[in-house]
Chains A and B, each alone.
Chain A
Amino acid sequence: MLFALILLLPAPVPAQDGTDNPIAPLEFRSETERARYHALIGELRCTVCQNQALASSDAPLAADLRRTVYRQIHAGRTDTEIRQFMRDRYGDFVLYNPPLAGHTLLLWAGPPLLLIIGGIAAVFIVARRRRMLARAD
Chain B
Amino acid sequence: MTRWILVVPVLAFMALVAVLLGGLETADERQLIDSPLVGKPVPDFDLPTLHEPERRVRDDDLAGAPYLLNVWGSWCPACRIEHPWIVRLDEEAPVPLIGLNWKDERTDALRWLEAFGDGWDLHLVDYVGDTAIDLGVYGAPETFLVDAEGIIVHKHIGPIDERSFADLMQRAAALADGGEET
Distance to closest chain A CB from B112 (angstroms) = 13
Distance to closest chain B CB from A58 (angstroms) = 14
Check B118 for interface membership: any CB of A closer than 8 A.
no
Contact of A64 among B34, B129, B159 (CB under 8 A): B129
Report chain B residues within 8 Å CB of A3: 31, 78, 139, 158-159
Check B165 for interface membership: any CB of A closer than 8 A.
no
Distance to closest chain A CB from B35 (angstroms) = 7
CA distance A11 to B36 in the complex (A): 25
Q: Which of A21-29, A36-44, A85-93 contacts B (4 or more CB under 8 A)?
A: A85-93
Check B90 for interface membership: any CB of A closer than 8 A.
no
Range for the number of chain B residues in contact with chain A: 20 to 34
Take A1-B28, A3-B78, A13-B103 as given contacts and tell me if A64 and B128 are in contact as well, using a CB distance cutoff of 8 Å.
Answer: yes
Cβ of B36 and Cβ of A61 under 8 Å apart? Answer: no
- Looking at chain B's contact residues, the main secondary structure is loop
Report chain A residues within 8 Å CB of B127: 14
Cβ of B34 and Cβ of A91 under 8 Å apart? Answer: yes
Report chain A residues within 8 Å CB of B105: 12
Task: Please name the residue on chain B nearest to A64 by beta carbon.
Answer: B129
CA distance A47 to B137 in the complex (A): 9
Contact of A7 among B108, B134, B139 (CB under 8 A): B139
Cβ of B78 and Cβ of A89 under 8 Å apart? Answer: no
Take A64-B133, A68-B130 as given contacts and tell me if A89 and B36 are in contact as well, using a CB distance cutoff of 8 Å.
Answer: yes
Range for the number of chain A residues in contact with chain B: 20 to 34
Cβ of B31 and Cβ of A12 under 8 Å apart? Answer: no
Cβ of A4 and Cβ of B133 under 8 Å apart? Answer: no
Cβ of A10 and Cβ of B33 under 8 Å apart? Answer: no
Check B116 for interface membership: any CB of A closer than 8 A.
no
Q: CB within 8 Å of A: which residues of B?
A: 28, 31, 33-37, 73, 75-78, 102-105, 108, 127-130, 132-140, 158-159
16 sampled A-B residue pairs with Cβ under 8 A: A6-B76, A7-B78, A7-B139, A9-B75, A12-B75, A14-B127, A48-B139, A60-B103, A61-B129, A61-B138, A64-B130, A89-B134, A89-B135, A89-B136, A90-B36, A91-B35
Known: A61-B133, A61-B138. 19 other contacts (CB 8 A): A1-B28, A3-B31, A3-B139, A3-B158, A11-B73, A12-B75, A12-B105, A14-B127, A47-B33, A60-B129, A61-B132, A61-B139, A65-B133, A68-B130, A68-B133, A88-B37, A90-B33, A90-B136, A91-B35
